[in-house]
Amino acid sequence: MLAKFASLNRSALFWGGLIFVCIALELGALYYQYQLDYLPCVLCVHIRIWVFAIMLAAIVGFFLRNSRPGLIIANLLTLTAAFGMLERSYIVLGTERGWVDGSCGDLVTGLPAWFALDKWLPAVFEPLESCGLTPWVIPQFMSMAEVLVLLAGLLVLLMTLFTLSSFFYNRPDAPIADHQARD
């Protein structure tokens, strides 16, 4: 089973697909902001930053997928960013459902001066609204917060399996698969 994950992990299609999904998520967020007039809150901006980080890690993965150390680094970077996205998404969902106090009325991102994305690119990363309800993505079925938790959770699970495969599949005592001969 790890052989299948290791093979998919080295696939340009996987890493390219992940880049595409991140671009689609960012464009979707901008569509909701500028076309449907759902302004982003601080937590939403944090999620956008984590999605951007996942995209950057996926670009690293795309170019370093045939190098075991590079693949491990890309997997760990993507897994870390996916955990960050999951945590922020859970806080948004908790705020929406009343589980946690995710109040962010001050509209301050909390980013350090050396990483002031909200100042450098305010059209994408500036919070404009207090945290609260998120819009429906699938009407009357799933809110944006629920979709983000689901996507981030699936990505954490997938990247955990990929990371394990990159660490353990190429062990000296592991069988050599056909895909290794092709790489």
pTM of the predicted model over 0.85: yes
Is residue 174 in a domain? no
The CA dihedral of 38, 44, 49, 54, to the nearest 10 degrees, is -100
Is residue 53 in a domain? yes
151 vs 9, higher pLDDT: 151
Q: What is the pLDDT of residue 105?
A: 64
Is residue 118 in a domain? yes
Is residue 177 in a domain? no
**What tens digit of pLDDT does each residue of 141-182 get?**
899 999 999 999 999 999 999 999 888 765 434 444 444 444
Task: Provide the CA 179 distance to its chain's centre, in angstroms.
Answer: 28
**What tens digit of pLDDT does each residue of 88-121 get?**
999 999 988 888 876 666 778 888 889 989 899 9
Q: What is the pLDDT of residue 176?
A: 42
**CA distance readout (Å), 24 to 13, 27, 107, 114:** 16, 5, 25, 27
Q: What is the pLDDT of residue 83?
A: 97
Is residue 179 in a domain? no
Q: How many domains does the chain have?
A: 1
Beta strands in 59-159 (DSSP E): 136-138, 142-143
Is residue 181 in a domain? no
Tokens for 22? 């991140």
Q: Please, are residues 26 and 51 in contact by the beta-carbon 8 Å criterion? A: yes
Domain that holds residue 101: 2-168
Q: Which residues contact 59 (CB under 8 A, 6 or more apart)?
A: 15, 19
Nearest to 32 by CA among 54, 47, 11: 47
For residue 54, the domain's CATH number is 1.20.1550.10
Distance (Å, rounded) from C-alpha 134 to C-alpha 174?
Answer: 47
Please say if the pLDDT value at position 139 is more than 90: no
One-letter identity of residue 167: F
Is residue 183 in a domain? no
Distance (Å, rounded) from C-alpha 137 to C-alpha 144?
Answer: 5
Q: What is the pLDDT of residue 170?
A: 58
Q: What is the pLDDT of residue 4?
A: 83
Is residue 175 in a domain? no
Q: Please, are residues 143 and 94 in contact by the beta-carbon 8 Å criterion? A: no
